[in-house]
């Protein structure tokens, strides 16, 4: 197995004075060990994993007896599943696919939900409702409509086609599970959605698609196990790649680099950029701090936003994702025009590597500090390593810039305002704010 490498050559690591951010390694190691011991960082120590894998084994025949899975979830309840689907189950998007099929309802879109409920054979569809709190309004509103359609189509056995991924003890979905005898998988305490991909939230749909979810877990554990050790100290933390990434990222922010490109030159891993964007933005965007994540895909975005990356404001760093062992693909034929003769004897897969090298060099030449994340292969195990690395780096970055990388207070305010707009009980402060906002005169113009 080829090694996974962080290449710091063009990172400006010393120039950004990143080492000064690493001086707090001892205190952060102590804090990390304490929070792991208290169960507050379950994505790292994974105390729930043995039980979860046992439960998934017991559910596998049931889950894979369905032709379709309709996943109701939003944000961290869906982004990880979509990234895994696109990376490791691309056949669903290819001609002639004969199943299984995963459908993700991750937005408030009447047209999409109507199409799912009209076209999916519900008797052959498992509906997975994913919400840690059990009260996510976008997800629960879809659940009400899907539940009603299941009752209409399937009669008294409608609950067989439901599975909830939610809190073990509390919340509306837990109450529904107890009332209607619906199967469940647990989302552990302290496991926020953006850190939950390697829990039932992501592993259930992965199992449905036949993805090697155990290798995902093994890859993440290989990166995170040393961090979960009670013997973690400043020396061992200072040498960990996740902490070094955090020192680099916080160094960038202190120098005014307030945007972070996630440029994937593994095309089928493109959706990992969207997964990372939520992880980074929702964790670090607080108190006027953080950096804006910008997902980009090579070579597609060389022909769109890359002009801004190369010649726009000098406020961007870049995580540059590559994999030298991607398949070669088909060989180019010999009977091609002379002006493309340089392609003769080469394979289509070589183009993505050439494009990636060219873009990496152009970014470096245009003063974009860059860390290349070079994966040894594009397997599930490698993806698990990447996700583990980025989740840990996010926690460390938050602590280095002195914010809480676990909560999301501004997002919660928006949720309350939406519920107030729909007439939820209480929320008088939010209702008053809405009345004031809606009564304000606005300037409008036709276009």
Question: Residues with catalytic annotation?
Answer: 282, 303, 415
Q: Counting Cβ atoms within 10 Å, is residue 169 exposed (0-12), middle (13-18) or buried (19+)?
A: exposed
Task: Give the SS3 label for residue 288.
Answer: coil
> What is the rounded distance in angstroms from the CA atom of residue 410 to the CA atom of residue 149?
35
Widest pairwise Cα distance in the chain: 73
Q: In Å, how far are 138, 234, 249, 404 from 25, measured between CA atoms?
A: 40, 5, 15, 17
> What's the token pair of residue 444?
């409008």
> What's the token pair of residue 296?
């980009």
In the sheet that holds 316-322, the strands lie side by side as 5-7, 370-374, 316-322, 259-264, 292-297
Element spanning 280, H or E: helix 272-284
371 phi and psi angles, rounded to 5 deg? -115, 120
Strand 68-72 to 125-130 pairing: parallel
Triad 268, 272, 276: Cα angle to 5°: 165
Helices (runs of H) and strands (runs of E) counted in the chain: 18, 10
> What is the rounded distance in angstroms from the CA atom of residue 142 to the CA atom of residue 139?
5
Cα dihedral sign, 82-162-150-91: positive
Cα dihedral sign, 150-154-159-160: negative
Do the Cβ atoms of 36 and 228 come closer than 8 Å? yes
Give the DSSP per-residue string, 233-278.
-HHHHHTSHHHHHHHHHHHHHHTT--EEEEEE-SGGGTTHHHHHHH
> What is the rounded distance in angstroms from the CA atom of residue 62 to the CA atom of residue 356?
43
Do the Cβ atoms of 266 and 326 come closer than 8 Å? yes
Triad 394, 398, 404: Cα angle to 5°: 115
């Amino acid at each position: 197995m080829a090694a996974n490498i962080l290449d710091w050559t063009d990172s400006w690591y010393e120039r950004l004075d990143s080492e000064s951010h690493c001086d707090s390694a001892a205190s952060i190691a102590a804090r990390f060990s304490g929070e792991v011991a208290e169960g507050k960082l379950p994505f790292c120590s994974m105390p729930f994993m043995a039980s979860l894998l046992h439960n998934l084994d017991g559910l596998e025949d049931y889950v894979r007896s369905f032709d379709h899975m309709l996943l109701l979830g939003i944000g961290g309840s869906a982004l990880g599943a979509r990234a895994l689907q696109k990376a490791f189950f691309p056949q669903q998007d290819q001609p002639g696919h004969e199943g299984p099929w995963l459908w993700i309802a991750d937005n408030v879109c009447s047209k999409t939900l109507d199409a799912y409920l009209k076209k999916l054979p519900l008797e052959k569809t498992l509906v997975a409702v994913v919400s840690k709190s059990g009260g996510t309004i976008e997800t629960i509103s879809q659940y009400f409509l899907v539940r009603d359609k299941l009752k209409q189509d399937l009669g008294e056995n409608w609950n067989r086609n439901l599975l909830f991924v939610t809190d073990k003890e509390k919340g509306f979905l837990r109450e529904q599970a107890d009332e209607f005898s619906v199967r469940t998988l647990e989302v552990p305490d302290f496991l926020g959605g953006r850190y939950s991909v390697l829990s039932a939230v992501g592993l259930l749909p992965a199992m449905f698609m036949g993805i090697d979810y155990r290798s995902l877990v093994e890859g993440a554990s290989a990166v995170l196990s040393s961090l979960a050790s009670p013997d973690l100290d400043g020396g061992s933390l200072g040498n960990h790649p996740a902490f070094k990434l955090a020192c680099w990222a916080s160094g960038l922010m202190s120098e005014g680099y307030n945007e972070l490109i996630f440029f994937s030159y593994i095309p089928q891993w493109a959706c990992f950029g969207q997964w990372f964007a939520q992880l980074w933005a929702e964790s670090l965007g607080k108190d006027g701090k953080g950096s804006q994540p910008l997902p980009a895909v090579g070579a597609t975005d060389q022909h769109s936003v890359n002009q801004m990356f190369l010649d726009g404001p000098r406020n961007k760093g870049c995580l540059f994702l590559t994999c030298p062992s991607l398949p070669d693909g088909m060989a180019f034929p010999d009977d091609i025009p002379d002006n493309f003769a340089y392609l003769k004897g080469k394979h289509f897969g070589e183009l993505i590597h050439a494009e990636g090298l060219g873009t990496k060099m152009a970014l470096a030449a245009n003063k974009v500090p860059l860390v290349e994340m070079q994966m040894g292969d594009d397997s599930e195990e490698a993806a698990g390593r990447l996700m583990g690395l980025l989740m840990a780096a996010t926690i460390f970055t938050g602590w280095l810039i002195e914010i809480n990388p676990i909560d999301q207070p501004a997002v919660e305010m928006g949720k309350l305002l939406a519920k107030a707009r729909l007439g939820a009980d209480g929320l008088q402060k939010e209702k008053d704010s809405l009345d004031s906002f809606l009564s304000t005169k606005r300037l409008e113009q036709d276009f």
